[in-house]
Amino acid sequence: MSRIMQKEIVSEMDDIFFESENLDFYREYIHVEQLYLAGIKEVRTKLEILDDEFHNRFSHNPIHHMEWRLKSPKSIVEKMKRRHLPISIDYIKENIEDIAGVRVICNYVKDIYRMADLLLRQDDINLLKVKDYIKNPKENGYRSLHLVVEVPVYLAEEKKMVTVEIQIRTIAMDFWATLEHSLRYKNKDEVSDDIRQRLFDCAESITEIDQEMEAIHNKLKGKYHI
Ligand code: GTP
Ligand code: MG
């Protein structure tokens, strides 16, 4: 059992039963899921190994925990329809970057950048996209570092590059994003201006708290240099 507490984000498999128009897609997709799950495992293992090394060398665990999920077939189909793209496996692989998603919840902001940097330095990882919503927060206050990477998966007869979306954030940013997401999900577009403003203010406060906690941690622990 890994030291890092891990949690699988439940995918909504019940939604497969079934839009008959997309039945062929669903049949084929079952095989594709295995590949993306392998991509998730590769990324998790790489991050876990880094976390273990930090634990041993610096008595510090950058990663608090990880979560992961495969995008549900229904969400994939909906996204393809929104973008007016054909529902075929090739188009989906080509156009949807977040079929495989790993969320890394770190203790401090410096841990986020350290983990991202060490992961991206590995020579079998290809970086496809970075969105730094910590340096450039979204208008609503959302903060996280998003990476889209390709990672090799070795099958019996071939090597496949698999795309994985990685979201890296602090515990506090994750707390915020979870509440904001559930409000938006429950209320659709009816979140009032007052609530929006309060959430935005919380995001600002969280940023200050993250900075202050990190400063205190630095004082107590000294800095590691990698
Ligand atoms: P999608 O089409 O939703 O995948 O967005 P995108 O392709 O523009 O990618 P982006 O990196 O902006 O967002 C990817 C994921 O980050 C989303 O699916 C959410 O999980 C998360 N995310 C982005 N913005 C927000 C936000 O404002 N609030 C919350 N709670 N999560 C967000
Ligand atoms: Mg997405």
Burial environment of residue 24 by CB neighbours within 10 A (0 to 12, 13 to 18, 19 or more): exposed
Q: Which ligand is nearest to the CA of 131?
A: 1
β-bridge pairing 145-154 and 126-132: antiparallel
CB proximity list for 48: less than 8 A, separation 6 or greater:
2, 4, 63, 66
The structure tokens 């996209």 sit at 129
Catalytic member of 139, 150, 165, 212: 165
What are φ and ψ of residue 124, in 5° steps? -100, 5
Judged against a pLDDT cut of 50, whether residue 13 lies above it is answered with no
Q: Which of 7-21, 98-112, 154-168 has the lowest mean pLDDT?
A: 7-21
| Residue of 146, 185, 206 best suited for mutating to test ligand 1, as the one with most atoms within 8 Å of CB | 146
Q: What is the mean pLDDT of residues 165-176?
A: 98
Give the list of residues 6+ apart from residue 218 with CB closer than 8 angstroms, or none.
none
Regarding beta strands 63-70 and 145-154, do their DSSP bridges make them parallel or antiparallel, or are they unpaired? unpaired
The answer to whether 12 is a known catalytic residue is: no
> Would the pLDDT of 83 be above 60?
yes
- Residue with CA at minimum distance from ligand 1 atom 5: 98
- Closest-CA residue, ligand 1 atom 27, reads 142
- Name which residue leads in pLDDT, 188 or 57: 57
| pLDDT class of 9 with cuts at 50, 70, 90 | low
Closest CA to 67 of 104, 34, 97: 104
Question: How far is it, in rounded angstroms, from Cα 16 to Cα 147?
Answer: 28
Token pair 């208008």 in the structure block, residue: 139
The H-or-E segment that residue 106 falls in is: strand 100-106
Express as a percent the part of the chain with pLDDT over 90.
Answer: 71
CA of 76 to the centre of ligand 2 (A): 10
User: pTM for this structure?
Assistant: 0.90
Per-residue pLDDT, 29: 82
Answer whether residue 101 shows pLDDT above 90.
yes
Catalogue all structural domains in the chain, each as residue range(s) with its CATH number: 5-221 (3.30.460.10)
pLDDT at 186: 73
Residue 131 Cβ inside 6 Å of ligand 1? The answer reads: yes
Between the CA of 55 and the centroid of ligand 2 the distance, in Å, is: 31
